[in-house]
Amino acid sequence: MSSIADSALHEDETLCTQILETITAASPLQILPSKISGAGIGLFVTKDVDDGEEIFGSKPLVNCVDNELQRSVCDNCCAYQLSTVHPSGRFRTAEDAELEMKACSRCKVCYYCSRACQRKAWKTHHKHECELLSETPTMHPLTRALYRILLSIKHNILSGDQRAAMQRLTSNMPELLSSDNAKLIVGASEAARSRTKTDLSFAEVVRLYCIVLTNSVSIFQPEGRMLGSSLDVVASLMNHSCDPNAFVVFEGNSLRVRSLRKLRGGEEITQCYADVNMDVLIRGRKLKDSYNFDCHCERCEKELKAHEERTPGMIPQMEQTQHDLIDRSNEAIRLINIDTLSTDAHNLASRIFPNGKWPEDLQPWPTLHISQSRVSKAQGSLVPALKYGVKGYLFQERRIGPSWIHDLLEFLQVISRMLVAPKGDIPFGKDGFPSEVQLWTILHGHLRELALGATRTFGERTAYSQAIGAWYSGSIAEEEGPKPGTTAFANRFKRAQGVLLAWAGVDESRGIVLT
Ligand SMILES: C[S@@+](CC[C@H](N)C(=O)[O-])C[C@H]1O[C@@H](n2cnc3c(N)ncnc32)[C@H](O)[C@@H]1O
């Protein structure tokens, strides 16, 4: 295997053609040396691609559901029991029946949404792994992916091309074997080799595990939920950018790569391996720890320079504090409790900024506000949820892509709950708070942006975009004044948004401009 792995994939034209034939792409793609220094090979478009287009779709080699979601996600089609979206393209209501999930009666590890899914999974892979899974039910999904791959090789389920291409993916094996995780990697590989009784050598199994660790992508649905991990050969060839032109999303068990902006023919397709909204220091740590490289892109250099100018010589403290703020914010979400979050956050911020005043637009502050809004909403405290929500979503620098759509949706859910709350619960028109009519205008203006944004981001066929579109059309049908999309509405919206922003203490320049 090492000799195959030594020759780069792009040099084998026949193999490249064969693996590119397994995807569905609007126009042909190419595998070439990356334009990013030190990044190996990459994936390129050959023709111009518009903003918001599907670049390609693929059926991954393996999808593995996260352990804590096993009972609620179908192990075959990835249908999610708690999805807020009905497959017919509307948001679910309390009247909708819940998907009934049934466990495999033998292993009780994999769950299915129908007999058909269970039969299909059994035929394609589950019959080979069922007994092994029942012995090790809590295996990490990436280790489960390794088992599935080893068994697929053993039982000739993978085609020769798929196997050859997978084995040539970057493994980062030397770096992973000298990392803190080396013992775990070696131990899991040893166990996988002996349990699956594969013919592969120990070194080959370790390398395959490193390939899984380096190339897997999250099964991220349009709704924003991560359901597990997936390995797809073609998607694995996309390199990282902190200003990506594409992203990966799943529709059921199918992977889709969609554009975030226009790409010119010959351009490399890139995705962000870290949370694209986070600061350079958080992204940098993730890229180093999980993918073994340092990013030196324009965005990273610019953000590092800004740190040096703002707080000279404080980069290590700044990084630690950002991590601590994120941990604190995640803890608040987990406990559904933000009682001490503001005080704790200001105490942490004062390590860097003597007055404890972290800049509103510097991450993770906007994300912290979004957590505060989410927890307040869960507690039914809608007024603070709105105030935190306005700050959270308007201080995000990037107003494109999945996370922007999710932030906007959450913000609008707060507004729409306020508009149906019992009279007297919401201080309409008092102490600078917008009037009820103004809040309707704010909802409708944003809903139109959300509907347009969801269609551009996820495509118009996606049930999620359709559900947002249905919400928008249902809601504006009741609007008596000028409709969104007209100049009269835009003027009304600007005034209403101005009131909301003044109430929330956000500068008007941060507001959204309607399209
Ligand atoms: C999923 S693979 C991407 C395909 C890979 N370039 C190849 O040749 O197979 C991820 C690995 O590619 C490299 N890589 C991806 N993006 C990079 C970037 N922006 N700068 C440097 N290396 C990068 C790193 O080695 C990373 O661990």
Residue 145 CA to residue 139 CA, distance in Å, equals 10
Tell me, what's the pLDDT at 24?
98
Tell me, what's the pLDDT at 6?
53
Bridge partners (DSSP) of residue 271 are 240
Q: What is the position in ligand 1's atom list of the atom closest to the CA of 215?
A: 1
Pocket residue to mutate for ligand 1, from 10, 170, 242, 292, most atoms within 8 A of Cβ: 170
Tokens representing 476? 């504006």
Residue scoring higher pLDDT (277 or 423): 277
91 in a structural domain: yes
3-state secondary structure of 507: coil
The rounded percent of the chain whose pLDDT value lies above 90 is 96
The rounded percent of the chain whose pLDDT value lies above 70 is 99
Q: Are strands 41-45 and 54-58 parallel, antiparallel or unpaired?
A: unpaired
3-state secondary structure of 59: coil
Whether residue 370 sits in one domain with residue 422: yes
HSE-CB for 26 with a 13 A CA cutoff: 14
Ligand 1, atom 22, lies closest to the CA of: 39
Whether residue 493 sits in one domain with residue 389: yes
Place 109 in a pLDDT band, splitting at 50, 70 and 90: very high
Residue 385 CA to residue 209 CA, distance in Å, equals 43
Place 182 in a pLDDT band, splitting at 50, 70 and 90: very high
Cα three-residue angle 100-101-104, rounded to 5 degrees: 145
Residue 387, C-beta contacts closer than 8 angstroms, at least 6 positions apart: 373, 503, 504
Q: How far are the Cα atoms of 136, 140, 149, 273 from residue 185, in angstroms, in the given order?
A: 16, 12, 16, 21
Whether residue 193 sits in one domain with residue 251: no
Single-letter residue type at 132: L
User: How many Å lie between the centroid of ligand 1 and the Cα of residue 499?
Assistant: 47
Tell me, what's the pLDDT at 8?
82
237 lines ligand 1 (CB under 6 A): yes
Whether residue 146 sits in one domain with residue 35: no
294 lines ligand 1 (CB under 6 A): no
Give the end of a domain, one of 230, 253, 282. Answer: 230
Judged against a pLDDT cut of 70, whether residue 202 lies above it is answered with yes
Give the global pTM: 0.95
Q: What is the position in ligand 1's atom list of the atom closest to the CA of 41?
A: 8
User: How many Å lie between the centroid of ligand 1 and the Cα of residue 445?
Assistant: 41
The total number of residues shown for the chain amounts to 515
Judged against a pLDDT cut of 50, whether residue 38 lies above it is answered with yes
Residue 30, C-beta contacts closer than 8 angstroms, at least 6 positions apart: 16, 20, 43, 44, 45, 46
Residue 192 CA to residue 264 CA, distance in Å, equals 44
Tell me, what's the pLDDT at 17?
96
Whether residue 402 sits in one domain with residue 361: yes
Expressed as residue numbers, the domain containing 140 is: 66-230
Place 433 in a pLDDT band, splitting at 50, 70 and 90: very high
Pocket residue to mutate for ligand 1, from 293, 294, 299, most atoms within 8 A of Cβ: 293
Summarize pLDDT for 297-356 with one digit per residue, the tens: 999 999 999 999 999 999 999 999 999 999 999 999 999 999 999 999 999 999 999 888
Average pLDDT over residues 186-209: 98
> 449-470: string of b/e by CB count within 10 Å (b at 16+)?
bbbbbbbbbbbeebbbbbbbbb
Residue 440 CA to residue 158 CA, distance in Å, equals 54
Average pLDDT over residues 458-471: 97
Whether residue 239 sits in one domain with residue 100: no
Summarize pLDDT for 146-180 with one digit per residue, the tens: 999 999 999 999 999 999 999 999 999 999 999 99
Tell me, what's the pLDDT at 3?
42
283 in a structural domain: no
Q: What is the position in ligand 1's atom list of the atom closest to the CA of 42?
A: 6
Give the CATH number for residue 463. Answer: 1.25.40.10
Whether residue 466 sits in one domain with residue 318: yes
Residue 457, C-beta contacts closer than 8 angstroms, at least 6 positions apart: 52, 258, 260, 400, 401, 402, 404, 405, 465
End-to-end CA distance of the chain: 54
271 lines ligand 1 (CB under 6 A): no
Place 2 in a pLDDT band, splitting at 50, 70 and 90: very low
Residue 262 CA to residue 284 CA, distance in Å, equals 26
Bridge partners (DSSP) of residue 514 are none
- At which residue do the structure tokens 């927890």 appear? 375
Q: Work out how many domains the chain is built from and give that number.
A: 3
- Contacts within 8 Å (CB) and 24+ apart, 173-178: 173/206, 173/207, 173/210, 175/292, 176/210, 176/213, 176/214, 176/292, 177/206, 177/210
Average pLDDT over residues 268-282: 98
Whether residue 452 sits in one domain with residue 309: yes
Whether residue 253 sits in one domain with residue 221: no
Summarize pLDDT for 230-244 with one digit per residue, the tens: 999 999 999 999 999
Judged against a pLDDT cut of 80, whether residue 7 lies above it is answered with no
Tell me, what's the pLDDT at 112?
98
133 in a structural domain: yes
DSSP 497: H
Q: Are strands 246-251 and 254-259 parallel, antiparallel or unpaired?
A: antiparallel
Pocket residue to mutate for ligand 1, from 240, 294, 298, most atoms within 8 A of Cβ: 240
Tell me, what's the pLDDT at 480?
81
Place 479 in a pLDDT band, splitting at 50, 70 and 90: confident
Average pLDDT over residues 268-288: 98
258 in a structural domain: yes
Whether residue 105 sits in one domain with residue 36: no
Residue of 420, 421, 305, 322 whose CA lies nearest to 365 = 322
293 lines ligand 1 (CB under 6 A): yes
Give the end of a domain, one of 241, 273, 305. Answer: 273
Judged against a pLDDT cut of 60, whether residue 280 lies above it is answered with yes
What is the chain's mean pLDDT, rounded? Answer: 96
Residue of 217, 167, 208, 239 whose CA lies nearest to 5 = 167
Task: Tell me if 110 sits within 8 A of 104, measured CB to CB.
Answer: yes
58 lines ligand 1 (CB under 6 A): no
Tell me, what's the pLDDT at 478?
80
Q: What is the position in ligand 1's atom list of the atom closest to the CA of 297?
A: 19
Whether residue 378 sits in one domain with residue 426: yes
Give the end of a domain, one of 273, 304, 339. Answer: 273
Task: Tell me if 268 sits within 8 A of 261, measured CB to CB.
Answer: no
Ligand 1, atom 20, lies closest to the CA of: 39
Summarize pLDDT for 281-302 with one digit per residue, the tens: 999 999 999 999 999 999 999 9
325 in a structural domain: yes
Task: Tell me if 200 sits within 8 A of 150, measured CB to CB.
Answer: yes
Q: Could you give the maximum distance between any two Cα atoms of the chain, in Å? A: 74
416 in a structural domain: yes
Whether residue 242 sits in one domain with residue 220: no
CB atoms within 10 A of CB 486: 12
Residue 190 CA to residue 198 CA, distance in Å, equals 11
361 in a structural domain: yes
280 in a structural domain: no
